[in-house]
Amino acid sequence: MGRRLTPYERRQREAEKQRRQAASRARTAARRDAERRVREREKADTAKKSKKLDVAYSTAMDAIMNLHLDSKHPYVYLGAKNAKSLASIDMTPDIKKTPFIPKKVPTFSDIKKEIKKLKTNYNKSLKMSKFSIKQYLKHVGRSGFFIFWFLNKEADKYKVFLEKNTEKAKLLKPDVQNAEAKLKEEQKNFKNSEEKRKADHIVAQQKAQEKAKKDFAITDKARVEWFKKLEKLDKKVIPQALEIMYPLEFLYSDDISLFKNSKAMSSINVGFDISATKMSMMVQLPHSFNFLPAEWKRLSRGGGNISTYSISDTERNNVFKSIVSSVGIAYLQSAFNASNIKEVQLEVTVLGSDPMTGNPADIVLLSMNGDRKTVESINFDKVDPNVAIKNFSAKFKPPKSKEKKSVIFDSDIKSNINSEKLIWCDEEDTSIKDMDDNLIDQIKNTLIKSKGGTPKKTRKDKEKEASDFKGL
């Protein structure tokens, strides 16, 4: 049986117990606080990513349902109104400057070796020309005793030794100086040569740029003249402008990649027939409308995370309606902006099969007849395209989604446009087949540059590059 604790020891033990408990509680609280902060950070990160993803999905859907909005798809029309401003754009290509590559500075090792050798011999002779008698005797390995000094006539030999080394040092000094001067001269010549080579390089670059600008100015004259004709509403140039401009380039952000077939709207075909006052136009959409994914993303009610939901056929049909009607309005506006016509007969179609014959036929999804006065009176930025088409005696039968697996085109709208008489915008029809390819490319590049884009290489440039490569 152990000793009973004194009151003091009991108090000490109790205090220690309480201290350990308090420390344990503090550690637990700190751990829980750290875990809470981690959870909050993870929640905040999730909410941030979810909001970003929600915006991406909303932006993608909004862009494809509002193809008529200039704010989302900033088209640049080829027409009399903007011909002058387009012609004034400086299309001079950026001449890539070749960087000046300096030569590696020579080591001049041969001259430096020669200098080192001469200096060694010079310093050695100079040092020996100042030897004391003691240093001399040590150098020649002789005794310093008077008797030996006398008998060996070392005084005379010592004198000759000093004179010989003095003379040798005198002879070596100019050699050292000449070698050092030669090194400096070689270094100077190299520096001057590099400076001249650099100056010549800069001058050559400037001359090349000036020549390129002059050469381009000659070829660019045709582009400027073409825009001047467009400004004057030249009957030959207007169809050329339409064929170059169509199909319209819908500008999507990277968010469009969220769709299964994001390139579908880039494969639109456009055909037109224009007279002095009227234009007939057929906008042929891709047959496959099944580009929406089966599931979509949206922000949860709490805003903390993203939730996945199944896209209904009703939603799909609403998207299809908006696409067809907004495409129709976009092309209707472009036709009036790009020409001086007063009326446009427009049909938005897909290539399908005639139910009676089974032969290929254009299925009309939207038919509209618009006049300039009506089009110019509407603020298309504020309208619902599905409603706005009613201003143009529209007949509308958009495709329908069936069980998210197929798209049905059951339109019975009769086409009033003969597609075989249209000029199709594929660079093979009558409007531009006689135009110079380089001119066509330059006009297209003008449109790209006007939108802040980077002009593409012309066919002429590509041919030159191919020729240069072949010659290597």
Q: Average pLDDT per run of 10 along the chain, which is 472 residues long?
A: 74 84 86 81 72 73 77 75 88 78 86 88 88 82 63 76 88 87 88 90 87 80 91 88 84 59 68 91 83 70 70 82 90 88 93 73 91 92 90 90 75 88 75 79 85 69 51 38
pLDDT at 355: 65
Residues written for the chain = 472
The span from the CA of 184 to the CA of 448, in Å, is 57
430 shares a domain with 283? yes
Instruction: Write out the two tokens for 394.
Output: 């529209």
Of 181, 216, 251, the position where a domain reaches its end is 216
283 shares a domain with 210? no
458, part of any domain: no
Number of domains in the chain: 2
459, part of any domain: no
- Check: CB of residue 350 under 8 Å from CB of residue 407: no
Cα–Cα separations (whole angstroms), residue 256 to 71, 141, 400: 16, 97, 22
125 half-sphere exposure, CB direction, 13 A CA radius:
18
285 shares a domain with 141? no
In sequence order, what are the residues at sequence separation of 6 or more whose Cβ sits closer than 8 angstroms to the Cβ of residue 437? Answer: 458, 459, 460
290 shares a domain with 424? yes
The DSSP secondary structure of 45-75, one letter per residue, reads HHHHHHHHHHHHHHHHHHHHH-TT-TTTS--
166, part of any domain: yes
134, part of any domain: yes
41, part of any domain: no
Preceding amide of 247 cis, omega within 30 = yes
374 shares a domain with 259? yes
The span from the CA of 313 to the CA of 348, in Å, is 22
Instruction: Indicate the angle between helix axes 313-337 and 7-65, nearest 10 degrees.
Output: 50
pLDDT at 464: 56
Of 164, 181, 216, the position where a domain reaches its end is 216
204 shares a domain with 156? yes
**Cα dihedral 398, 415, 430, 245 sign:** negative
248 shares a domain with 194? no
Looking at the chain, the number of H-run helices and the number of E-run strands are 12, 10
pLDDT at 379: 92
135, part of any domain: yes
19, part of any domain: no
338 shares a domain with 288? yes
In sequence order, what are the residues at sequence separation of 6 or more whose Cβ sits closer than 8 angstroms to the Cβ of residue 64? Answer: 252, 256, 259, 265, 319, 323
Q: What are phi and psi of 112, to 5 degrees?
A: -65, -40
Would the pTM count as exceeding 0.85? no
pLDDT at 393: 92
391 shares a domain with 266? yes
CA dihedral 356, 361, 365, 371 (to 10 degrees): -120
The DSSP secondary structure of 349-408, one letter per residue, reads EEEEE-TTT-SEEEEEEEEEEEEHHHHHT--GGGS-HHHHGGGGT-EE---EEETTTEEE
pLDDT at 290: 66
Q: What are phi and psi of 27, to 5 degrees?
A: -65, -40
Closest C-alpha among 213, 228, 256, 191 to residue 95: 213
pLDDT at 272: 92
Of 157, 189, 216, the position where a domain reaches its end is 216
Instruction: Write out the two tokens for 348.
Output: 């938005």
The span from the CA of 100 to the CA of 102, in Å, is 6
Instruction: Write out the two tokens for 434.
Output: 């006689």
Q: What are phi and psi of 249, to 5 degrees?
A: -95, 100
pLDDT at 371: 94
340 shares a domain with 415? yes
Q: Which domain holds residue 416?
A: 65-92+235-435
pLDDT at 28: 86
426 shares a domain with 333? yes
295 shares a domain with 263? yes
102, part of any domain: no
